[in-house]
Structure 1
Amino acid sequence: MAPKAQKKPQGKQMAKSSAPHKPKNSAINASRLMKYSRARIFQRKAAYKVKKVKTPAKKSAEKAAAAAAFVVKKIGGDKNGGERKVYKKTPKSLPTQVASRKVQLRPKKTFKKHVRRIRSNLAPGAVLILLAGRHKGKRVVLLKQLESGLLLVTGPRKLNGCPLRRVSQRYVIGTKTRIDISKVALPERLNDAYFRRQRSAKKSAASAGGSADIFAKSDAAYAVSAERREDQAAVDKALMGAIKASGDGPMLRSYLRSLFSIKSGQRPHAMVF
């Protein structure tokens, strides 16, 4: 018997090709430079001949956008129709760059909400070594920590000339020497406002809108107030009594009078204070 003849594909039915699919565009070098441009690929695909069919959802979205493009305003008069559609005008110029917005990762805390942590070796009554300021190198006694986080210290002034001062804990070295100051009564007014610098008369007059001469030289020198003298004397008297009550009174007095210094070959990070 004769073999049956194979049927030819009819209409749009075509036989599947065994050749692999080739993309319309390809790279011609290692830097991914394409053979055809985007415009040329657009022509090869004949995408401009494809009719875009709008779905009902897209049509409704376009109508809503067109309705939002104008504002209905009421107009007086019998022959004006009562209302009119006024289209929103586009701006004449648009910004070329969008301003970057800083992302806030966590809520900001003001200075009042900051936590005032203090090192474990900086307890009231500890002897500290000052590392900066006009009294650097002197040994002082820590009285308490203020609300701002600064340390209230004193020499006492009778021993080494260091008065009541505020010092940051970054500029002190804590030692193992302790003085019992539980019986030392500090005045209640010793706070941050007590040590606030007073403004000069020239600056206060200028801020108030006065006609103060900015080139005038004032001969007024700083003078310690009677209030500070009284507080310093009271604190020194109580602190000297606490030093005397300890078993090593003479040694502590000489220790507080001496200045701290480093000789060649000494390493501060390896020293025990």
Structure 2
Amino acid sequence: MSTPSAKTTTKTTTTVVQKTTTTTTKQPQQQTLVNKRGAGSNVKKPKTTASGKKVINSHSNRLLNNNGLMRFSRGRMFQRRALYRISKWKADQAKLQGDKTKKTAGSIQKKKRRTPTLKKKPIGGERNGKERLVRAKRFPRYYPTEERPKKFSVKRKRFGDHPRRFRSTLTPGTVVILVAGKHAGKRVVVVKHLSSGLLLVTGPHKLNGVPLRRVNQIYVIATSTKLDLSSAKFDNLDDKFFKRVRTPKKNAEKDIFDSKKEKPQLSNERREAQRNTDAAVLGAIKANADSRLLRRYLKSRFQLWNGVLPHKLNF
């Protein structure tokens, strides 16, 4: 009875060994094959140009460092991805939603209709064919022999059209000091702002001998003393009033020995204007509380002594 039991045991052992061998041998082979195929399928070769340089995708943004610094900025990526075109297209589509007749955004821009080059013209006569094709736009009869250069129009304002700006301290009635010219150092009163950008000043002439003059504001130092000239009107005094009248040129051959130059004489209109302005200024000085001091102040000249620094003075 012992022999058949031994046979049964041998059969079972053989079956177990076969199962173990099959499982142990087949499993690693399958894993290696899968790994090899997966690695080959996932890896993408970088695109290169003819020179061998890598082609960078316009929509990709790569890291430059491990710190998180990107290759392109946010605005640059917005431009590279062409998001501005998408937003514009969306805006056009939103406009078209109300109107159902227009189907696409391209229909917004209407194409220009081309004019035909030829047109039919009726012709009289029985044997002339009644119609002929004639050019809609005729060629010129004559062509220029030389090409003239085109004149380019430059949009520039003339000096007369420039805006005039005056310093805030140079209001009418302000006492100023003349820095340059014949009456340099004298104190005068600002009468008016002229349209040419100049200041109209006067001494008055009775006090310091300065007549009605036009002065550039860069040659003037403004002081803190002011007179009230709001009641006086100087409408007739403008740039045309001070325009010089040129005397006609004399014959040079006849007047060789006459070397004397005639001095231009003041007109009666100019003298009357001087009297009226001086009267208005003197009336404002008289109305001031310190009229005596003001008279002496306008008569005196402005001078600098040794050790006096002009940039530290309060005028």
Report the TM range for the smaller structure's normalisation: 0.5 to 0.7
Work out the CA distance in 1 between the residues paired with 2:277 and 2:269: 12
The 3-state SS of whatever aligns with 1:195 is coil
The superposition leaves residues 130-160 of structure 1 with CA deviations (integer Å, 9 ceiling, x where unpaired) of 0111111100000111010000000000110
SS where residue 264 of structure 1 aligns?
A: coil
Q: Which moved more, 1:263-272 or 1:139-148?
A: 263-272
> Hey, what does 2:290 align to over in structure 1?
248
Is residue 172 of structure 2 the alignment partner of residue 130 of structure 1? no
Matched, 1:271 2:310: no
Q: How far did 1:217 drift?
A: 3.0
Q: 1:196 corresponds to which residue?
A: 243
SS in 1 for 2:241: helix
**Which residue is equivalent to 1:185?**
233
Q: SS of 2:284's equivalent?
A: helix
Code of the aligned partner of 1:260: F
Per the TM alignment, residue 218 of structure 1 is displaced from its structure 2 partner at its CA by 4.6
Match among 226, 231, 239 for residue 273 of structure 2: 231
1:145 to 176, 190, 193: 193
Q: 1:243 & 1:176 partners in 2: Cα distance? A: 15
Q: 1:173 aligns with which of 221, 224, 231?
A: 221
Distance in 2 (CA, whole Å) between partners of 1:173 and 1:195 is: 23
Aligned counterpart, 2:20: none
Aligned to 1:155: 203
Rounded Cα–Cα distance in structure 2 between residues aligned with 1:144 and 1:156: 14
Q: Conserved in 2, the CA contact under 8 Å of 1:156 and 1:163? A: yes
Q: SS of the residue aligned with 1:201?
A: coil
The aligned amino acid for 1:246 is N
Cα distance between partner residues in 2 of 1:164 and 1:232: 6
Residue by residue over 1:9-59, the C-alpha shift from the partner in whole angstroms, topping out at 9 and shown as x without a partner, is xxxxxxxxxxxx9xxxxxxxxxxxxxxxxxxxxxxxxxxxxxxxxxxxxxx
Q: Is the 8 A contact 1:184 1:242 kept in 2?
A: no
**Range that drifts further, 190-199 or 249-258:** 190-199
Alpha-carbon shift at residue 238 of structure 1 (Å): 1.5
RMSD between superposed Cα atoms in Å: 2.9
Q: Take 1:265 and 1:200, find their aligned partners in 2: how far apart are those partners?
A: 50
The structural deviation recorded for 1:198 is 2.2
Instruction: Give TM-score scaled by structure 1 length.
Output: 0.56
Q: Distance in 1 between matches of 2:298 and 2:269?
A: 25
Q: Which runs of 5+ in 2 are unaligned?
A: 1-50, 52-145, 147-151
Larger radius of gyration: 2
Residue identity in the other structure for 1:197: R
